[in-house]
Amino acid sequence: MSKSIAIIGLGAMGTALAKTLIDAGNTATVWNRTSARADALVARGARRAATVTEAIAASDILILCLTDYAAVETTLADVGPMLAGKTVINLTNGRPDEVRAVAARLEAYGARYLDGGIMATPPMIGTPDAFILCSGSADAFEKTREQLAAFGQSHYLGEDPVLAAVSDLALLSAMYGLFGGYLHATALAGSVGFTAKQFLPLVEPWLAAMMTALPDYAERIDSGDHGRDVMSNLSMQSVAITNIVAASRSLGIDPAFMEPIERLAKKRLAAGFGGDEASGLIEAMRGK
Ligand code: NDP
């Protein structure tokens, strides 16, 4: 069933969300601090709101997609009482403390609050590859299932509003680890003359092959047993890790990406876990 929806924030992501909702037949009212960014959406059928107040008044569901929670606070500063009975879906990247504060404030005004993390780039929105993590009001999730489904798959993680934000940050951490590792590797290979395109046929299948280790790592992490059936012990791996850092320096590459891994490996070795798999680095991350 089509519902009236306000989309607040029309950057790259907010625009993709708004387009998808309009194309799915929803009535969309759009607002952006820089009004001109709404032009293309208005041409597509959206209503332009002159103010946030106007956008909220016209809608049952409010979708926020802004740079950060400071922008969310600024944007909603004067509209609290208008939110009574509305469903607010906040798809802005944030930290758990920020999520709790905004959730508590909006719920105190009588809003149903759903926090979300978008695991997709703007062109992926509306494709089966996009997924959205949600947590907070179960009622809000049920009421907006159809709208969320237009964006991609949606996963409801539970009533605690911070679950989606922390899971989002965790997945992004995995992504930055991958990209950071790739960039460091490409810089290192580049220091002896390989272009990124020449290096790609080596690094891409290598990363894909290493991904297959994750189920075994997950098993070890959950059991806390990093010492059974070890194939690549940390003492052996730490030689390579230290060599990567030293070689990077000597070849003029900043080893900043690898230094924390070296630090964690040394901590784990000093604690006597050199015979374990490298999955045990998680214990050092956890402060053990
Ligand atoms: P953009 O930089 O393209 O847009 C930022 C938006 O926030 C603009 O609408 C901007 O308004 C608005 N904004 C910033 N500060 C304020 C403020 N103080 N008051 C009012 N509005 C403000 O970012 P994206 O659209 O790409 O990202 C938006 C959210 O989506 C982020 O939380 C991001 O983490 C998330 N996301 C983005 C992805 C991506 O690949 N782009 C992927 C997954 C999630 P104005 O136009 O006036 O500057």
* pLDDT digits 0-9 by tens, 169-190: 999 999 999 999 999 999 999 9
Of 53, 56, 10, 3, give the one whose Cα is nearest residue 27.
3
Rounded distance between C-alpha atoms, residue 288 and residue 279, angstroms: 13
Nearest CA to ligand 1 atom 38: 121
Structure tokens given for 106: 């909006």
Mutational pocket test of ligand 1: of 7, 31, 33, 78, the residue with most ligand atoms within 8 Å of the beta carbon: 33
pLDDT band at 288 (very low <50, low <70, confident <90, very high): confident
Nearest CA to ligand 1 atom 39: 121
Contact call for residues 55 and 8 (beta carbons, < 8 A):
yes
Q: What is the pLDDT of residue 3?
A: 75
**Which residue blocks in 191-232 are alpha helix, DSSP H?**
196-211, 214-223
For residue 157, how many other CB atoms are within 10 A of its CB? 19
* CB contact burial 176-201 (16+ within 10 A = b; e otherwise): eeeeebbebbbbbbeeeeeeeeebee
Rounded distance between C-alpha atoms, residue 281 and residue 234, angstroms: 9
Q: What is the pLDDT of residue 181?
A: 98
Instruction: Please determine, for residue 95, whether its predicted confidence score (pLDDT) is greater than 90.
Output: yes
Rounded distance between C-alpha atoms, residue 67 and residue 225, angstroms: 41
Helix, strand and coil percent figures for the chain, each rounded to 5: 55, 15, 30
Instruction: Please determine, for residue 1, whether its predicted confidence score (pLDDT) is greater than 80.
Output: no
Q: For CA atoms 134, 137, 142, 144, give the dihedral sign.
A: negative
Mutational pocket test of ligand 1: of 7, 8, 41, 65, the residue with most ligand atoms within 8 Å of the beta carbon: 65
Reported pTM: 0.94
Which residues' Cβ are closer than 6 Å to ligand 1?
A: 9-14, 32-34, 37, 65-67, 71, 74-75, 92-93, 118, 121-122
Q: What is the pLDDT of residue 2?
A: 58
Nearest CA to ligand 1 atom 18: 71
Instruction: Please determine, for residue 8, whether its predicted confidence score (pLDDT) is greater than 60.
Output: yes
Contact call for residues 67 and 43 (beta carbons, < 8 A):
no
Mean pLDDT, the chain, as a whole number? 97
Cα 66 to middle of ligand 1, angstroms: 4
- Chain centroid, CA 84 distance in Å: 29
Rounded distance between C-alpha atoms, residue 17 and residue 10, angstroms: 9
Nearest CA to ligand 1 atom 22: 71
Residue 34 φ/ψ, nearest 5 degrees: -95, 100
